[in-house]
Amino acid sequence: MNSQKDLAGESPELEQALKHFKASMDAWSDSALSRPRTIARAAVRPGWRPAAGWALGALLAVGSLAGVIVHRRQVALIAAQKAAQKAVEDRTAAARQVAPPAATPVEKPASKTLPARQEASMPDENLLASVNRDVSREVPAAMEPLAQLMDDNGTQ
């Protein structure tokens, strides 16, 4: 086997042909590397999967918001029912405290009946007296049994 120098040295025509071939290959590779390239894009078809994903995401978000709104309404409704029940219980407790003990009814003489205005203001006065009594308590009603256990100076 002979090396390239050996072949080029024997024939100057062969050496010249190889130089021209090398030069043309260098020129071709330079022009191929420097030309602008365009990438052929594959045709992209919009599929149904992204649309389905967006639709399901939107449905999930709306469902979550609806659940929160329904929960808040139920909590508000329960709170309103409890407040109404407590108001009724307070009214009945106040009526029990204000109502005179059941005794034999005493008929008033007809000449000593109160005028209509005074009779109408009696429930209001009773209610105000009940509120005054509740506000002026030293301890809440639920704590009264414990307060009775304490001495006057605050020790056991």
Q: What is the pLDDT of residues 23-48, one digit of tens each?
A: 999 999 999 888 888 887 777 777 88
**pLDDT tens sequence across 106-135:** 555 544 454 555 555 567 888 888 888 877
Contact 21, 15 (CB under 8 A): no
Can you give the pTM of this predicted structure? 0.32
| Contact partners, residue 146, CB within 8 Å, separation at least 6 | 139
Mean pLDDT confidence for 46-61:
90
Angle of helix 48-98 versus helix 116-135 axis, rounded to 10: 110
127 Cβ contact list (under 8 Å, min separation 6): 94, 98
Tokens linked to 70: 């329904």
